[in-house]
Amino acid sequence: MATRARRTQRRRQVLSREQIIDTAIELLDAGGAGGLTVRALTERLATGSGAIYYHVGTRDELLDTATETVIAAALATEPARAPATPENEIRVVALGLFDAIAEHQWLATRLAVQLTRNPWGPVTVGIFEKIGRQVRALGVPQAVWFVAASTLVHYILGAVSQTRIDGYTSGVETDEDREKFLEAASMAWQELDPADYPFMHAISGQMREHDDREQFLAGIALILDGITNLR
């Protein structure tokens, strides 16, 4: 009887909602959205599909829940030693999302789905609320709260998503690969005719030497400067 009780306890632990979600995130990290299937999940957890549906729901619901879990953790990031000003709070949120998308390559696509198809869902609402409170704390007039918050949110998610999926580092997996890619792009820009492409020719060196994180924060600073002028 005691042995049976221990087996039942272990089974309940394996089949907990949290364990299923954590395992789903591991599968997503390893193989992207295509790597998360009910079959792969049941094999990893040594259980049946019925348990997955019971605890979480369908595969789409599991994807949404995994996204919500990762974003909730990112938004819970606490500021470091910097003063707790609205500007610093916004930077903390922005970098939390930046790091989350950098760590979970599948996340950018799922965020785009949430923002466009489920703007009333916990992911979209959570991000806007976190950013919006700091916009309000900046003293921005209420009439432009939505514009200011939307600009920040769209920049944060758009900049990181472009970098990780659709932009110049798509398919670049290591720092060495990134350096080679940027070097090749920079050389191609340098070879452009400066009479036809004076701007692209001039920034070719900056493109090769830039740091994604620093560039990201520079963009946040530019937007915050604009928002403070709204006061």
Please give the residue range of the domain that contains residue 52: 2-57
pTM above 0.85, yes or no: no
- pLDDT digits over 35-68, tens only? 999 999 999 998 888 888 889 889 999 999 999 9
- As a whole number of angstroms, the distance between CA 222 and CA 231 comes to 15
Structurally, how many domains does the chain consist of? 2
Does 48 lie in the same domain as 132? no
Does 83 lie in the same domain as 32? no
Residue 159 domain-assigned (yes or no): yes
Confidence of residue 28 (pLDDT cuts 50, 70, 90): very high
Which H/E stretch holds residue 10? helix 2-14
**What's the per-residue H, E or C state across 69-103?**
HHHHHHHCCCCCCCCCCHHHHHHHHHHHHHHHHHH
Does 47 lie in the same domain as 84? no
Residue 62 domain-assigned (yes or no): no
Residues in the chain: 231
Confidence of residue 80 (pLDDT cuts 50, 70, 90): low
Residue 73 domain-assigned (yes or no): yes
pLDDT surpasses 80 at 98: yes
